[in-house]
């Protein structure tokens, strides 16, 4: 991917690496949730401060950009979050920042946008993440969809309600039954509980102190949404709020949640210079649009595009971190690629059905979990993080495992990727 200009000065695309990622514990949105009364920007500040604390060899003034995503950019999620959170976190005033919105793929877009800046040579080190306080800002609150969406039938009315889009996906793929989605949801809860039991989730959680009028101070160090021990019978009893006799329930979908995430990215040269760890290397990424009324199918074309860009096939992917907005959406992806419902490569630590999905923050949670699995399993060379996005999109990022024996040969050979220009 090196670009040789007529002047004879080549511009090379630099390797981008994922150095570290953290997140707050995820909470249940609403007045009973752990973050009721906590500001969204303060959750983000916690993450930024913890990234700096965990990486003491990084001088704060070397951070070139702070990109923070939120879906509902108003109130405590407004005011150009990247800049305001950077200032509140105590970064030098010389460090700029910006806010970003791609709904559920907000943090993922914050990562890929700033990573592109690193690849281009504009940045050496960046912080990218996302926050969503769905208790303070319910999905769509304050939004005013243009009436033309409906009057000109630009989208199906179901496109503006995520639960309806999931029911539509069931209609499109009748082989994905409610029993299958419930079984997938039970497995997600079980896998998360097992990961907690082995201490695989806790290392990347930032404890958050909260103050509530009646209860006083509390230190929140674990996720609130999980329901370990959930059974098929429990899920069978839940109502289907989006459609009479439907298939989508609160049990086989992610809940409404609060939480924040942040990642530290760098060029491989800057990471080496500053003594920063390398947990993953960015191989390729892609976004794709689909019909808004079946937005859950978005990860399929996005993944096909990202694989094509990387010169890889689905068989090259050894680990999948797929955001579980709805079980049906994950299963439609697995069916498309001929992967079984219980494939051990998929969501090893469980997913959003168990842990929660604070919209714009979830992309970096997927990356944290993939980075941990890379460390545990050096036999895997490539993994992906992928998610569906409201209004009909998909987002996919492919990563390489630095612990894999062939990792160092990536720059000289291997798939067309962001390394291609490194030796030019």
Q: Which residues are catalytic?
A: 104, 357, 388
328, 181 Cβ separation under 8 angstroms: yes
Q: Is 417 helix (H, G, I), strand (E, B) or coil?
A: coil
Q: At what angle do helices 327-336 and 162-172 cross, to 10 degrees?
A: 40
98, 113 Cβ separation under 8 angstroms: no
Residue 11: phi and psi, rounded to 5, are -105, 120
- Residue 167 CA to residue 156 CA, distance in Å, equals 13
Structure tokens at 142: 């304050």
User: Please, what is the Cα angle at 138 between 136 and 142, to 5 degrees?
Assistant: 95
- Residue 185 CA to residue 169 CA, distance in Å, equals 17
Q: Cα 34 from chain centroid?
A: 21
Structure tokens at 417: 């990727």
- Residue 18 CA to residue 265 CA, distance in Å, equals 5
165, 187 Cβ separation under 8 angstroms: no
- Residue 4 CA to residue 26 CA, distance in Å, equals 46
* DSSP for 327-350, written as a single string: HHHHHHHHHHTT--TT-TTB-TT-
Residue 211 burial (10 A CB sphere; 0-12, 13-18, 19+): exposed
């Amino acid at each position: 991917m090196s670009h040789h200009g007529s002047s004879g000065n080549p511009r090379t695309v630099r390797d981008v690496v994922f150095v570290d990622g953290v997140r707050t514990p995820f909470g249940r949105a609403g007045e009973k949730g752990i973050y009721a009364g906590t500001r969204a920007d303060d959750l983000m500040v916690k993450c930024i401060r913890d990234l700096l604390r965990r990486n003491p060899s990084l001088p704060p003034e070397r951070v070139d950009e702070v990109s923070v995503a939120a879906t509902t950019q108003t109130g405590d999620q407004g005011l150009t979050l990247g800049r305001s959170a950077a200032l509140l976190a105590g970064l030098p005033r010389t460090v700029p920042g910006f806010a970003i919105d791609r709904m559920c793929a907000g943090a993922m877009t914050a990562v890929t946008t700033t990573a592109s800046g690193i690849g281009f040579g504009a940045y050496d080190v960046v912080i990218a993440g996302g926050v969503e306080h769905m208790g303070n800002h319910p999905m769509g609150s304050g939004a005013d969809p243009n009436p033309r969406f409906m009057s000109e039938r630009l989208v199906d009315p179901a496109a503006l309600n995520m639960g309806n889009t999931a029911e539509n996906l069931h209609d499109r793929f009748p082989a994905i039954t409610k029993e299958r989605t419930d079984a997938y949801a039970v497995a997600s809860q079980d896998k998360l509980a097992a990961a907690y039991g082995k201490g695989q989730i806790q290392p990347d959680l930032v404890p958050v102190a909260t103050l509530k009028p009646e209860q006083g101070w509390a230190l929140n160090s674990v996720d609130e949404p999980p329901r370990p021990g959930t059974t098929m019978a429990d899920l069978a009893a839940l109502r289907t709020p989006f459609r009479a006799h439907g298939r989508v329930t609160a049990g086989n979908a992610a809940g409404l949640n609060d939480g924040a995430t942040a990642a530290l990215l760098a060029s491989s040269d800057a990471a080496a210079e500053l003594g920063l760890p390398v947990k993953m290397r960015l191989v390729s990424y892609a976004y794709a649009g689909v019909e808004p009324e079946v937005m859950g199918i978005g990860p399929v074309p996005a993944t096909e595009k990202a694989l094509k860009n990387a010169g890889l096939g689905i068989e090259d992917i050894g680990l999948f971190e797929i955001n579980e907005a709805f079980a049906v959406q994950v299963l439609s992806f697995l069916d498309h690629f001929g992967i079984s419902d219980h494939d051990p490569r998929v969501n090893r630590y469980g997913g959003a059905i168990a842990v929660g999905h604070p919209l714009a923050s979830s992309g970096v949670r997927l990356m944290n979990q993939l980075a941990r699995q890379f460390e545990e399993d050096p036999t895997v060379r490539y993994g992906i993080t992928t998610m569906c996005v409201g209004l009909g999109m998909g987002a996919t990022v492919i990563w390489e495992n630095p612990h894999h024996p062939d990792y160092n040969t990536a720059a000289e050979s291997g798939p067309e990727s962001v390394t291609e220009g490194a030796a030019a």
